[in-house]
Amino acid sequence: MNTTNSLLASADWFPLVLSLKVAAVATLLALVAGVALGWVFARKRFPGDTVLEAVFMLPLVLPPTVIGYAILVAAGRHSPLGSWLREHLDYSIIFSWHGAVVASAVVALPLVLKSASAAFANVDRSLEAAASTLRQSPFSIFLRVTLPLAWPGILAGTLLAFARAMGEFGASLMVAGSIPQQTQTLSMAIYDAVQAGHDDRALLLVAVTSLLSVTVLVLSNRFFSLR
């Protein structure tokens, strides 16, 4: 018991705080983009809509290393975007926690997108039609009719996205690196601890991560069954 106490007391909680921060920001970005795209794919038909939706769903099935490499190519030092950002704004997402956010948002987006798309498709169109006869603007209909009916499904997807963002490892490691006290998230800290043979620290971090993920999943299930 003494070793556990001293382990907890001297534990470095930065990875936990950073993981929560990165996952929160990434989920927020994924939520905004996912709801917007989900609405478009649920309500609109245009040429190539299934292909486009598949492209946005790709991060769900692509290996994390592919996603990490794609971000490096798109935003790295020698890329058009990366070099522009570096020159004009003295900014880079590589080796910064912002990079971890980008990687996590990319992998979390499909989860929100799918749930939002399904939730919007399930909203009774006649209710929206009724609202428009009452002279509500399309945006007002969305806010006051569609969204309130769709939010349990969207929330369930968002919680899944949060859990996915918390657990993001491969892509964020390639883009942000595992810099202690700067970009080292929970999963990276576990990886480093195992590699260095610090099994007690690894076990503690694994326990914390598992507890968090299970909690998020249980909450998500509650909202899924609310629909």
Partner 1 sequence: MRPLRLLSLVLALALPLAAAAQQITVSAAASLTDAFKALGPKFEAVKPGATVRFNFAASGVLLQQIAQGAPVDVFASADQETMGRAAEQKLIDTATRRNFASNALVLIEPLRGGAGVRSLQDLAGPGVRKIAVGKTATVPVGRYTRQVLEGAGLWSALEPRFIQADSVRQVLDYVARGEVEAGFVYRTDAAVMGDKVRIAFAPAAAIPVSYPAAVVSDSRQKALAGEFVAFLSSDAAREVLARYGFGTP
Is position 177 an interface residue for partner 1 (rule: CB under 8 A)? yes
- Using left for φ > 0, alpha for ψ between -120 and 50, and beta otherwise, residue 118 falls in alpha
Least separation in angstroms between CB 51 and partner 1: 32
Is position 197 an interface residue for partner 1 (rule: CB under 8 A)? yes
Q: Which residues contact 135 (CB under 8 A, 6 or more apart)?
A: none
Which amino acid type is present at position 173?
L
Contact flags string 31-70 toward partner 1, x per CB under 8 A:
----------------------------------------
Question: Distance (Å, rounded) from C-alpha 58 to C-alpha 49?
Answer: 14
Residues that contact partner 1, how many (by CB under 8 A)? 16
Least separation in angstroms between CB 179 and partner 1: 6
Question: Distance (Å, rounded) from C-alpha 148 to C-alpha 223?
Answer: 13
Beta carbons within 10 angstroms of residue 80's beta carbon: 9
Q: What is the crossing angle of helices 14-43 and 97-121, to 10°?
A: 40
Ranges within 115-134 binding partner 1 (CB under 8 A): none
Is position 192 an interface residue for partner 1 (rule: CB under 8 A)? yes
Kindly tell me which of 77 and 222 has the beta carbon lying closer to partner 1.
77
Beta carbons within 10 angstroms of residue 134's beta carbon: 8
Which amino acid type is present at position 41?
F
List 52, 121, 194, 203, residue binding partner 1 (CB under 8 A)? 194
Is position 94 an interface residue for partner 1 (rule: CB under 8 A)? yes
Both tokens of 127, joined, read: 């209710």
Q: Are 30 and 112 in contact (CB under 8 A)?
A: yes
Is position 12 an interface residue for partner 1 (rule: CB under 8 A)? no
Least separation in angstroms between CB 29 and partner 1: 23
Is position 77 an interface residue for partner 1 (rule: CB under 8 A)? yes
Both tokens of 17, joined, read: 């705080």
Least separation in angstroms between CB 92 and partner 1: 8
Span of 7-15, 44-52, 116-124, 174-182 interacting with partner 1 by CB under 8 A: 174-182
Is position 95 an interface residue for partner 1 (rule: CB under 8 A)? yes
Both tokens of 64, joined, read: 């994390």
- Residue 118 to residues 56, 130, 145, 197, 199: CA-CA distances in angstroms? 15, 21, 16, 45, 43
List 63, 138, 148, 180, residue binding partner 1 (CB under 8 A)? 180
Span of 47-55, 73-81, 116-124, 161-169 interacting with partner 1 by CB under 8 A: 73-81
Binding residues (CB under 8 A) for partner 1: these are 72, 76-78, 92, 94-95, 177-180, 192, 194-197
